[in-house]
Amino acid sequence: MKKVYRTIALMGLMFSCAAPLLAQPAGQATVTPPRTDSTTNRQGLRVGLNLGLTQLYGDLSTPNLSFGAGLNVSYPLGSVVAVTLLADLGSLSAQQADYYNSKATASYVQGALGGAFNLTRLFKGKPKPVLTSPTNGQLAPDNFSGHATTQPARGNLEFYIGLGLIAFDASASSLTTGKLQRYTNGTGSHHTESDNVTAKGPGNLGLTRELVVPLGLRYNRSLNATLSLYADLRYNFVASDKLDATRENDNSTIDTPQGGAIFGKAVLNTSRDKWASLSIGLAYQFKRKVSANRIRSTDF
């Protein structure tokens, strides 16, 4: 009898060990959960080049269209704020027939450092997560355990502002004869003392340097994960009345006594000159790898 009990117990033990294998359909392999990547790509440095039109707004009432080129480099500090570097070069022009009878031209090089603010992200918030497959990036079916990733907006609007220096060489000529009337740099050009007349330092300066505050709007449109087109509208406030080689309410020329030399510091009671640009460009977005488990400022 004991032998019968031992046989039954042994059979029960063998059945309990084989039950999990019997429950799995024949020919089906054990499913292993897909591995998740511990790193993810985030937006890094963005470099853009642009070409466009410029206009000079100074004492001469009619701005003329000229051309300029620019470089902008930005690095995100978060989902809304980025540090931006602006570099520009080109030409400016304006004219006025009455009172001045002048046409001014200026060549410039400008650089500025500032901040950019993503208005689209600021007002619309962060994009909603999209469930995707970890293998091919396609939308995951309902019965598939995918990965939640955010799809960045294809277009966004930025506002930026900065502070920098503009170096320029400007001159004004007669609209009727083309003869030189006024100039900012060249023979005899110099810095001045506080009286705005007495020369100081080396003479014959090649460029005039002044502070500038650029501010603008930039619309970015993604072409793919790394390239984007952008349109840039900017206004530049220059701390000088000399960008058009013309002072407010002063039509003197080099043919009049002590006239024509636009040197020295800006006169406090005169308006400051500005210049604007409208350009289009192409930007390249570098990617940076960070830990997927790490909390980043760009997540907020």
| Residue ranges of domains in the chain | 42-121+157-293
Q: Which residues of the chain have pLDDT under 70?
A: 1-42, 126-153, 187-204, 258, 263-269, 288-300
pLDDT for residue 79: 87
**pTM to 2 decimal places:** 0.73
Output the DSSP codes for the chain: -HHHHHHHHHHHHHHHHHHHHHHSPTTPPPP-PPPPPSEEEEEEEEEEEEEEEEEEESSSSEEE-EEEEEEEEEEESSSSEEEEEEEEEEEEEEEESSSS-EEEEEEEEEEEEEEEEEHHHHHH-SPPEEEE-TTT-PBPPTTS--EEEE---SEEEEEEEEEEEEEEEEEEEETTT--EEEESSSTT--EE-TTSSSEES-SS-S-EEEEEEEEEEEEEEESSSSEEEEEEEEEEEES-S-TTS-BTTB---TTSTT-SB--SSPPTTSPPPEEEEEEEEEEEEEEEEEETTS--GGG-
pLDDT for residue 297: 45
- What pLDDT digit, counting tens, does each position of 147-184 carry? 555 555 689 999 999 999 999 999 999 999 999 999 98
- Computed over every residue of the chain, the mean pLDDT equals 80
pLDDT for residue 168: 96
CATH number for region 42-121+157-293: 2.40.160.20
